[in-house]
Amino acid sequence: MKIGLLTSGGDCPGLNAVIRGAVLNGIISHDDEFVGFRNGWRGVVEADFEEIVRHDVRGLSKQGGTILGSSRTNPFEGEGGGPENIQRMLDDNGIDAIIAIGGEGTLTAARRLVDEGGINVVGVPKTIDNDLAATDYSFGFDTAVQIATEAIDRLRTTADSHGRCMVVEVMGRHVGWIALHSGMAGGAHAILIPEQPKTIDEICEWVESVVDRGRAPLVVVAEGFTLEGMSEAHSHKGLDAFGRPRLGGIGELLAPMIEERTGIESRETVLGHIQRGGAPSAFDRVLATRLGMAAVSAVHDQAWGQMVSLRGTDIEVVSLQEATGALNHVPASRYDEAKILFG
């Protein structure tokens, strides 16, 4: 078969390992041919692709980013967009199926292309936030947690030296998995996540109790966290200086508020895209490779509209509908468990 690969949405450590796993399994097990669409769905809409041969994936599993490039293009928009145009482009170039590697937006588009146009698409979940339902973990999350944990460990020594409160903002637009895991791993005194809004008074109480115990407080906050009782207009949300929706910024809001209310000197650190850069962890390399290999098997099983997924230690196939229907939120029980450690 001739299979087209694409990576779409925000990049994520492990994307290249998926590509390598898919290409090696396809070539070795099935004698497949591969092309890579450039810059996500944009490459599909613009028929912009290149051949990928075995030599191209040599040493790729440890490389961060994506050799194919990425974008947030919607395949239903633009001149070559929509199921009919895409099917024609695939037929013209003898491409039998697409493996779409992406997050919620990418996989929703993939599902629509299958449902509305009968396009042969199989999905691979990608999210550093770990916000996709129907997979226990996605590659990229483990790497992001390791990077955030290392940053927390480093911030702790400078916090202790100065007796300051450190506020560390990590990624997590809709869910708080990176904050929860890095906060637990790094021994944070408070973890603030989108699923659990808190008032500034509650946060300050935690911070003061840490100081009372003779420690320098360390607060980990997910970028999507909302302060309870604060209006949108006065929060970090809204538009940035260029008119783009502001994603982060809660750390910069919280640290001065804590300092003002408690008198405890506070500093904020926003980790930002550092969490998405560089080489994937060994766990992510293995997971991404297995998902890529399984996606090729799914193509040969004609599992259109399905996504490969990690369930326990097994790679399974689930419907894209299930995967895109709801987000994978941090359950209250997991938060309560971590909260015992703040005390």
The CA-based angle 294-298-314, given to 5 degrees, is: 40
Closest CA to 311 of 133, 176, 177, 158: 133
* Residue 276 touches ligand F6P, criterion: CB under 6 A: yes
Query: What does the alpha-carbon distance between residue 150 and residue 205 come to, in Å, rounded to a whole number?
Result: 26
Q: Are strands 165-170 and 97-102 parallel, antiparallel or unpaired?
A: unpaired
Asked if residue 172 belongs to a known ligand binding site, the reply is yes
In the set 154, 173, 246, 334, which binds ligand F6P (CB under 6 A)? 173
* Residue 128 touches ligand F6P, criterion: CB under 6 A: yes
Q: Can you state the percent helix, strand and coil of the chain, rounding each to 5?
A: 45, 20, 35
C-alpha distances (whole Å) from 85 to each of 44, 60, 75, 98 are 10, 32, 10, 14
In the residue annotation, 96 being an active-site residue is answered as no
Answer for the pair 267, 255: CB distance below 8 angstroms, yes or no.
yes
Query: What does the alpha-carbon distance between residue 84 and residue 88 come to, in Å, rounded to a whole number?
Result: 6
Q: Which of 129, 131, 142, 284 is catalytic?
A: 129
Q: Determine the residue with CB nearest ligand F6P.
A: 171
* Residue 303 touches ligand F6P, criterion: CB under 6 A: no
The contact pattern for ligand F6P, residues 80-119, with x = CB under 6 A and - = no contact, is -----------------------x----------------
Asked if residue 230 belongs to a known ligand binding site, the reply is no
The contact pattern for ligand F6P, residues 223-242, with x = CB under 6 A and - = no contact, is x-------------------
Sign of CA dihedral 315, 327, 334, 190: positive
Query: What does the alpha-carbon distance between residue 152 and residue 28 come to, in Å, rounded to a whole number?
Result: 43
- Nearest distance in Å: CB 276, ligand F6P: 6
* Residue 247 touches ligand F6P, criterion: CB under 6 A: yes
Asked if residue 158 belongs to a known ligand binding site, the reply is no
In the set 33, 129, 169, 259, which binds ligand F6P (CB under 6 A)? 129
In the set 109, 114, 145, 171, which binds ligand F6P (CB under 6 A)? 171
Write out the catalytic residue numbers.
129
- Residues near ligand F6P, by CB under 6 A: 10, 103, 128-129, 171-173, 223, 247, 276
